[in-house]
Structure 1
Amino acid sequence: MISLTNPPQISSLPLNSSFSKRNYTNLYSYGRVFLPPNFKNNRCRGKCSATQSQPEGSKQRSERPRKKTQQQMDTDKKDGIDPVGFLNKEGITNKAFAQFLRERYKALKDLKDEILNRHLNLQELASGFEILGMHRNVQHRVDYVDWAPGARYCSLMGDFNGWSPTENAAREGHFGHDDYGYWFIILEDKLRDGEEPDQVYFQQYNYVDEYDKGDSGVTIEEIFKKANDEYWEPGEDRFIKSRYELAAKLYEQIFGPNGPQTEEELEDIPDPETRYKAWKEEHKDDPPSNLPSYDVIDDGKEHDGFEVVSDPVTSERFKTKKSPIAYWLETRKGRKAWLEKYTPGIPHGSKYRVYFNTPMGPLERVPAWATYVIPEAHGNQSFAVHWEPPPESAYKWRHKHPPKPKSLRIYECHVGISGQEPGISTFKEFTKNVLTHVKEAGYNAIQLIGVLEHKDYFTVGYRVTNFFAVSSRFGTPDDFKHLVDEAHGLGLLVFLDIVHSYAAADEMVGLSYFDGSNDCYFHSGKRGNHKFWGTRMFKYGDHDVLHFLLSNLNWWMVEYQIDGFYFHSLSSMMYTHNGFATFTGDMEEYCNQYVDTDALLYLILANEILHVLHPNVVTIAEDVTLYPGLCEATSQGGLGFDYFVNNSASEMWLSFLEKVPEREWSMSKIVSTLIGNKNNAHKMLLYAENHNQSISGGRSFAEILIGSANTEGSLLRGCSLHKMIRLITFTIGGPAYLNFMGNEFGHPKKVEFPMSSNKFSYSLANRRWELLKDGVHSTLFAFEKDMMKLDADDRILLRGSKGLPNIHHVDDTKMVISYLRGPFLFVYNFHPTNSYERYSIGVEEAGEYQIAINTDEKIYGGQGLISQDQYVQRTISRRTDGARFCVEVPLPSRTAQVYKLTRILRV
């Protein structure tokens, strides 16, 4: 194990640094300062928890007055912040909810202040994956950091050390924890027999990039002599005897020749200006030196620390110099050179677990930040796998993110059941067989469910055990990167269905009782357990839980280059009753004692941080209670999502199909349900059916409509309604639409994951792609492609006033619905028997309207009752539906037509 007692004394410290005890530790945490000998290892504290001491007399952020002053309110107003802004915009007057929003905004500001006591900024709060978990360090070692505040001892055990909890896992002086419970463990890279250790710390090795570059054959001494002779000016810094000369002198000037060696010895340091003035006074009689001339800027303004300027001659000399980077690159060695010299402390592919000694006794756990996990199977316990492939075989990205479309056509998929044969499909098979189908169908995004690791396959992936790991059932992390990359190459965005509303209750592999305590990640007692689902509920008010969840979102964006998230089941996290309550529409139901304000603050932080770090990210909220302000800006009192899901649409269709006679379908209810709240419809995502309608016990619409069809007439009825339901759901709502894999061609069977009730059979855990070759499923898919093409070519989902249709004709008696979106006219006749030869529909423009889509065409499996000479209709001057003009169109029963204004006539 490499010793911490022999690193260089100090690196070059910028002369304009505000060199305080706090900044010294922060600089180290970012790798900018190398510790002096015997300096206490504080990497985890500086980066993860920021537990640096404050100089005496300094004011803690948490001591700031929390009462909002008039000055603060004026500042908020100037910055465009209004905690109740969206209420004013929508004309909602509810004093209780408005007061709740104001208090929530104050709580958010206080939370951010508290966060900044432990983290440099909010970006760092969401970047825990940069240090937590397992990471290679340039000092020839692997570092492991995890959070387990209830543990008395932490160690790693795995096949790399014979599954021993002590040997080469954690040693005195090389591991420990801070006051917040962050454990830091160092694993050594061992020198091979006969090899000599590197003499210079700056001898770096390429672990990821530039495979095998840097092996110049030139010795370190020759390289630094070359840099000293060719680059450094007299008096400037030089590297001599394993240390930087100028930095070492500066360190001795500040601290003396026997300066502090530990953080405790460092004590409090005067502010930079005081130190500078004292130094000037001490050296006022010194003879002039050949150092560059620097001095303090005194412009009467306050600065962070103090700044320096150089004289014009020095500035010009610096501008003409070339960067010394070439010299530094020559000191780097490639992967082969490193492997010849060192044995990795934990090789790629090593199996490991974390070992805790707790008040409850010894525990073994799969690490919380593990990035690749093999769940329990065949009687074997779960374990993490260290994923660090050599650079020559690591995945290299080939495609950029596609442009963010203004309208979304989302194809929802589950990788495991995407294969044609019964069994678990893989990332590779999905990439090869499904992505091209999605592109052919006309979608512009895929949404993946069940990607995060979960122990029990039958849970579909919603009981997540390992939040940073892709499911090993489907392949490796690089396999998933290839899937995302190929999707981007086809112009498809990739969204993840993320479950941060609850977690699996599993202990060995999950987070429950992770360190032996009940409330490490979750609430204790009843609040920590979902009353119906048997899952654990996160403690969103804990900063370390926020650190974990926000870092998790950022991890998937950074590591796997995904494009957004579908936040699953928000109602289960936003209310202590988990959303299982009756909502009457009273605004106070959204701000009463059952609302979890901490969960709302987490969602606000998640949206703010994601949209700042990744401006093109898409966030979608699934909330059956339609919480007010889901898609409003956080500065205006909203939660900041880009889209919200209208779940009631699929519930309505399912109720109609299973419980309501066809003649009694209400056209008014169809329209009101699909449109929802007009104020928010421009942010709405609609679907006729998603995975809920066809997975684990449910029936897809095709199974209801077509599966039981035993005559030509019943088959025609089923196909007709299938097309009409999809067309109106797709075109009447907001700018986003979703469909579950296989439903676009009327998959005839439901999905059942293997479980005890079906004797663990995979017979229904697949998709029958062979049905696309011919027959009714082929015609339904042809209709789906043309329906998607309508938006791809004509941006139909963005047409209309403020992106919404003009619904001008709803007749419950005749069962006819009609609406306009830009130059397009949509007409539906849901009547099971009545056809209309010349049905009058009002339009806004006089001209010729031509059929663009007719659900009854023979290529779509229809009867072709409308003849070709009826495909073009000319308006007549007659006021209908409040419009000056109308068209008289043929409407066979159970059909729908889309007309496009192809020629405008002047009247």
Structure 2
Amino acid sequence: MLVRRLEQVNLALKKLTIRGSLREAASTHLSLGPRYENGFWRIGEWAPNATAIFLIGPFSDWKEMPEFALKRRDGSDCWEMSLPEEAMPHGTLFRFGMHWRGGSGDRIPSHADRVVQDVHTNIFNAQAWRPDPYVWQHGTMTEKLRAPLIYEAHVGMAGEGDGVADFHHFTEHVLPRIKRAGYNTLQLMGIPEHPYYGSYGYHVTSYFAVSSRFGPPEAFKRLVDTAHGMGLRVIIDMVHSHAAGNEVEGLSRQDGTPHLYFHAGDRGRHEGWDSRCFDYGKEGVVRFLLSNCRYWLEEYRVDGFRFDGVTSMIYHHRGMNRSFTHYDDYYGDEVDEEALVYLSLVNRLIHEINPSAITIAEDVSGMPGLAYPREFGGTGFDYRFAMGLPDLWTRLLKEVPDESWDLDKIWFELTNRREQEPTISYAESHDQALVGDQTHFFRMAGAAMYDHMGKGDPDAHIDRAMALHKMIRLITVATAGAGYLNFMGNEFGHPEWIDFPRHGNSWSGHYARRQWSLVDNVDLKYPFLAAFDREMTALADAGDLFASPRVRLLGISNIKKWLAFERGAMVFIFNFHATRSRVDHPVPVSPGDYSLCLNSDGQRFGGHGRVEEEQRFFSFPDAKGAHHIYVYLPARTALVLRRS
């Protein structure tokens, strides 16, 4: 089966490159959609089932007129026309009047690079966009990233007010925070155009257009450019797993058929997500999706992609209500091998265009080989997410008192991965705080968070929440395979949940924002959590933590609630016991001299200061020659030691 999959990839590659390179095959955006060339707009569209297409806009009084009709290319399924710039100057709104056998309807061009919504009518239109070219100040990031420390963010909810924040605000106010926090990679949600704000950007309608609700394309370019100047890479969520079911502003029935871009019948609909499922067996669809990635890499100089919903792509059952408990689940008839071929091709293309680009698979199934090199039979992603970990922490915080946590099970989940496939771990992302749920810190602190986050307020609920928040995140980072992710604001224990404006909340943006004033207020405890997170990421980066993939367990006791492990030159020691501190606690280590480099109980992190800072520990052999150090380990505290 693996051999057959490799053969399918090679066959598809040969077919796509029969007239040139893979990069040339990924070029539909250069021949379709609105393109400005030498004083003329060239308009093209792939629409095999169309019988007529008209360009409509203010130039035609929004009527279908013969002089604005597209012509079918000879022997082709593509239509095209041209008109002088003065007929459609910069800023002009337009769309297609599409006709097919038995029907007609308005459509947005599939390759439109600028789509805007009328704030009064909510109607979407394409827009002729020809501003002064953006002048880039910084080059593309070409150095291979050592290990991604990812800051997941959403531009619209990055402001403190109830409104939708824009690219300018994010560039000026949020990028500096990310840099100071110690992260090296920015992962942005919701960048391609999507009509429903509350979808987080996962119901895409226009794949080549930057979401206009956040500002013009040039503002996004400035965001990426500024981030590069700070040494930050920028990756975006790429939603090639499904598309919005919208027909006028989406691709659902672009030429009147429901199966131009998507599978026909039930296979073309994702009932759980109320969306359409791409047909990766069609060459036209594959070219469209490949071109989409090339476009974002070249036009906006993004540094890669987090591919959303990979599980839904690679199984006919979409991963719905499946547990994936046996390897047979990865090789049976339910696997969509055409999707795997596409993913292999797109990874090849991305890394041909930019060898230092980052690709990450969001897959909950554990399909072997997704993050394994193509030349060895893998799909070619650079990383995959360890998606079981946030579910583990959420389940524990919801259902099990921390006094009863099973450390053996926690350790297994933290380290259960294939060493050959680089994984990125995280304790919580945006998913854990969606409406109906809560951020981890808010779940632990409860109502006390509203009244007892003052720096001088010794509240027991807050004390527990702060201690466990630091320990959970540290142990997740320290055991991560190849990288770490944090969602915007969670590094300082952001309260409450995320809920975008919708009918059910009277279209309020109160919970679709970030309260940066909390972490900026030195009279509150939020800065303590931010300081710990900053030193934690600095330790992982400066200590080159992920260069040592092996994590060696030194000791664990489910009864005493402590564990210790070694990674490279660092030793991590955790005491999860709620009340019992341990004096002169023996920890088996490699022989050497150790210094204390991070202490979660430090007063600068809102702890009790029970451990003397800048200590050194010397290992001593026992009667059998095994070496130990002896440490004071307060309750709900984590220590990190480094061997000299």
Pairwise TM-score range, normalised by the shorter structure: over 0.9
Whole-angstrom distance in 1 between the partners of 2:10 and 2:514: 49
Which residue type is aligned with residue 121 of structure 1?
A: S
Secondary structure of 2:106 counterpart: strand
Match of 2:273 in 1: 533
Whole-angstrom distance in 2 between the partners of 1:157 and 1:817: 68
1:347-426 pair list within 5 angstroms: 347-375=89-117, 377-389=119-131, 393-402=132-141, 403-426=143-166
Offset of 1:868 from its aligned partner? 4.3
Offset of 1:150 from its aligned partner? 0.8
1:442 aligns with 2:189: no
Whole-angstrom distance in 1 between the partners of 2:394 and 2:326: 27
Which residue type is aligned with residue 651 of structure 1?
A: D
Offset of 1:695 from its aligned partner? 2.5
Whole-angstrom distance in 2 between the partners of 1:179 and 1:519: 21
**Paired-residue identity, %:** 36
Match of 2:538 in 1: 789
Match of 1:346 in 2: 88
Whole-angstrom distance in 1 between the partners of 2:287 and 2:437: 37
Report Cα offsets for 1:648-698 as digits up to 9, x if no partner.
0100000110001212211111111111224346x0100000010112332
1:857 aligns with 2:606: no
1:180-579 pair list within 5 angstroms: 180-189=76-85, 344-375=86-117, 377-389=119-131, 393-402=132-141, 403-579=143-319
Match of 1:725 in 2: 472
Change (3 A) 1:749 1:178: farther
Offset of 1:167 from its aligned partner? 5.3
- Which residue of 399, 403, 426 maps to 1:687? 426
Whole-angstrom distance in 1 between the partners of 2:347 and 2:289: 12
Offset of 1:360 from its aligned partner? 2.9
Would you say the 8 A contact 2:251–2:261 is kept in 1?
yes
Which residue type is aligned with residue 596 of structure 2?
A: I
Secondary structure of 1:623 counterpart: coil
Change (3 A) 1:617 1:879: farther
Would you say the 8 A contact 1:620–1:645 is kept in 2?
yes
- Which residue of 142, 147, 160 maps to 2:46? 147
Match of 2:455 in 1: none
Whole-angstrom distance in 2 between the partners of 1:797 and 1:833: 32
- Which residue of 698, 716, 730 maps to 2:463? 716
Match of 1:115 in 2: 16
Secondary structure of 2:638 counterpart: strand
Would you say the 8 A contact 2:224–2:302 is kept in 1?
yes
Which residue type is aligned with residue 108 of structure 1?
A: V
- Relative to the length of structure 2, the TM-score reads 0.95
Secondary structure of 1:606 counterpart: helix
1:586 aligns with 2:326: yes
Match of 1:834 in 2: 580
Whole-angstrom distance in 1 between the partners of 2:619 and 2:122: 73
1:129 aligns with 2:29: yes
Whole-angstrom distance in 2 between the partners of 1:513 and 1:696: 32
Secondary structure of 1:548 counterpart: helix
Structure whose residues are more often strand by fraction: 2
Which residue type is aligned with residue 188 of structure 1?
A: P
Secondary structure of 1:446 counterpart: strand
1:136-175 pair list within 5 angstroms: 136-138=36-38, 140-166=39-65, 168-170=67-69, 175=71
Which residue type is aligned with residue 99 of structure 2?
A: N
Would you say the 8 A contact 1:427–1:479 is kept in 2?
yes
- Which residue of 854, 857, 866 maps to 2:611? 866
1:759 aligns with 2:506: yes
Would you say the 8 A contact 2:253–2:260 is kept in 1?
yes
Whole-angstrom distance in 2 between the partners of 1:374 and 1:110: 40
Which residue type is aligned with residue 154 of structure 1?
A: I
Whole-angstrom distance in 2 between the partners of 1:556 and 1:742: 27
Report Cα offsets for 1:527-565 as digits up to 9, x if no partner.
000121111000110000001100001100000000010
1:815-830 pair list within 5 angstroms: 815-830=561-576
Q: Greater CA radius of gyration, 1 or 2? A: 1
Secondary structure of 1:482 counterpart: helix
Secondary structure of 1:473 counterpart: helix
Report Cα offsets for 1:833-891 as digits up to 9, x if no partner.
121101111111222x121010001110000111348x2222111279xx831101111
Would you say the 8 A contact 1:161–1:168 is kept in 2?
no
1:875 aligns with 2:614: no
Which residue type is aligned with residue 153 of structure 1?
A: A
Cα-Cα RMSD = 1.6
- Which residue of 498, 521, 525 maps to 1:776? 525
Whole-angstrom distance in 2 between the partners of 1:898 and 1:113: 52
- Which residue of 358, 365, 375 maps to 1:625? 365
Q: How many residues are treated as equivalent by the alignment? A: 633
Change (3 A) 1:836 1:144: same
- Relative to the length of structure 1, the TM-score reads 0.68
Match of 2:486 in 1: 739
Offset of 1:169 from its aligned partner? 1.7
Report Cα offsets for 1:292-341 as digits up to 9, x if no partner.
xxxxxxxxxxxxxxxxxxxxxxxxxxxxxxxxxxxxxxxxxxxxxxxxxx
Offset of 1:178 from its aligned partner? 4.3
Match of 1:890 in 2: 632
Report Cα offsets for 1:216-252 as digits up to 9, x if no partner.
xxxxxxxxxxxxxxxxxxxxxxxxxxxxxxxxxxxxx
- Which residue of 520, 533, 555 maps to 1:809? 555
Whole-angstrom distance in 1 between the partners of 2:138 and 2:212: 24
Report Cα offsets for 1:809-833 as digits up to 9, x if no partner.
2221111111112221110011111
Whole-angstrom distance in 2 between the partners of 1:756 and 1:635: 50
Offset of 1:120 from its aligned partner? 2.5
Would you say the 8 A contact 1:830–1:895 is kept in 2?
yes
Would you say the 8 A contact 1:375–1:454 is kept in 2?
no
Report Cα offsets for 1:493-536 as digits up to 9, x if no partner.
00001110000000110000111101011111110001211110
Would you say the 8 A contact 1:376–1:455 is kept in 2?
no
Whole-angstrom distance in 1 between the partners of 2:127 and 2:90: 8
Structure 1: runs of 5 or more not aligned? 1-99, 190-343, 903-907
Which residue type is aligned with residue 478 of structure 2?
A: T
Secondary structure of 1:887 counterpart: strand
Change (3 A) 1:620 1:178: farther
Whole-angstrom distance in 2 between the partners of 1:805 and 1:679: 11
Would you say the 8 A contact 2:97–2:105 is kept in 1?
yes
Would you say the 8 A contact 2:324–2:365 is kept in 1?
no
Whole-angstrom distance in 2 between the partners of 1:618 and 1:868: 38
Of 450-459 and 104-113, deviating more is: 104-113
